[in-house]
Amino acid sequence: MLLMFAQIWKELTATILSLILTFGTTIGTIVPATTGGSADYFDGNVKNVIYLIGDGMGFNHLEKAKKERSISLVMDTFEERGASMTRSYTSSVTDSAAGGTALSTGERTFNGGIGVYFSDSNAVFSYPKNITELCLERGMMTGVITSDETSGATPASFSAHESDRGNTEEITEDQLNSGINLIWGTSNGLVTEHDAKVKGYQLITTYDEMMALPEGSSSFGQFTNNLWTLQQSDASTPTLEQMTMKAIDLLDDTDEGFFLMVEGAHIDKHSHSNLDDNMTEAVEAFDKAIQYALEYAKNDGETLVIVTADHETGAIVLNDDGSYSFTSGSHSGVDVPLLVYGTDKLLRGDEVINNYEVPIRIAYTLGFTEDQFPYEVMVAA
């Protein structure tokens, strides 16, 4: 039944999404799904959000990286520490689409779904609003940046609504129509300078173009070399840390505050391949981006920094000799880290919460309420 519904949805999705974009109406809230009311989480000191997602990053990824690279991680310095349970609506082991959707919309969905979900209501079609859209409506500046392709499942979950993560063209179209100020990652080869310009974006493809962006500008980043490495891949390619620094600089421009999602995508990719050195380098590079975000937040005093993962990849285990090794090339269902800086309202001790509660609690921390998020956007057919 679910599969049939997914299939029908997939076939109709192009038409439906254009209808959504044209005639979309917001009609109601989804049943709030976290412990306590929104007022319990509200923190009047928090204006900005930097939401960092290490794709595939489990607790043992951090231990393996520290041990094998002989480094310490900024992630270990967060005082507010919990964990997130990552399952999807349809499976105890999620993919990055359903994981990203839970972390962006406050709703679990089927594996492969990007910002869409099954609806039990009588409405014809609906989708859950994502937290980027929620922040955009408040007038906040917004950014979605990744070491992956911009149309990858995690950035797409924060900037698109599509029934299949493989609908790359449709995801890109949604992103160009999103109004999000910064969308940066590696190129999928689909966005031309003209495409970007007619939607209000400056197309950037190099480090120098990124660094030259003026405040208040909107840009679509399509870099062509690796963004995940600790040092720049080449002079025209930024690191995730450099992207994070510039993004914060550009977004920190209004009284309404900003929302920035940063994905370290290659912790997952190198875990699928069981590439120890590349995976641990990707963890360290992601940690550098977190370090900058944390330093900014400590100076700023009005910024929530939250670090988590969509799922664990590689089923890393601790061996008897103290080493850590991959035991799989797939995702696992174990809980993942949930680290918070900037408020003591979001977590209660070392809580283990559902992944979909993370964006709900972020929204509540910012002062949004149950009737605003999670929110069902419905299309009258």
Cβ closest to Zn ion, residue 48 vs residue 280: 280
Q: Considering the complex, state which of residue 80 and residue 268 has its C-beta at the smaller distance from Zn ion.
A: 268
User: Shortest Cβ distance from residue 86 to Zn ion (Å)?
Assistant: 12
Distance CA(267)–CA(58), nearest Å, equals: 10
CB of 52 to Zn ion, least distance (A): 17
Q: Which listed range, 16-24, 188-196, 260-268, 351-359, lies at the site for Zn ion (CB under 5 A)?
A: 260-268
Residue 121 to residue 194: CA distance in whole angstroms = 40
Other beta carbons within 10 angstroms of residue 58's beta carbon come to 26
- Binding Zn ion (rule: CB under 5 A), the pick from 170, 241, 268, 376 is 268
Q: How far apart, in Å, are the Cα atoms of 307 and each of 82, 129, 261, 291, 350?
A: 10, 21, 10, 11, 14
Q: Which is nearer to Zn ion, 287 or 312 (CB)?
A: 312
- The piece of 18-26, 256-264, 265-273, 302-310 that touches Zn ion (CB under 5 A) is 265-273
Are 366 and 118 contacting, i.e. CB atoms less than 8 angstroms apart?
no
What residue has token string 């049939």? 4
Binding to Zn ion by CB under 5 A, coded x per residue (else -) over 218-257, reads: ----------------------------------------
Nearer to Zn ion, 94 or 132 (CB): 94
Site size for Zn ion, by CB under 5 A?
A: 1
Residue 310 sits in the site that holds Zn ion (CB under 5 A): no
Look at strands 80-85 and 336-341 and give their pairing: antiparallel
- Segment near Zn ion (CB under 5 A); pick from 115-123, 158-166, 267-275, 334-342: 267-275
Closest CB 153 distance from Zn ion, rounded Å: 8
Q: Pick the closer one to Zn ion by CB: 252 or 263.
A: 263
Instruction: Identify which range of 80-88, 189-197, 263-271, 357-365 contacts Zn ion by CB under 5 A.
Output: 263-271
Closest residue to Zn ion using C-beta atoms? 268
Residues making contact with Zn ion (CB under 5 A): 268
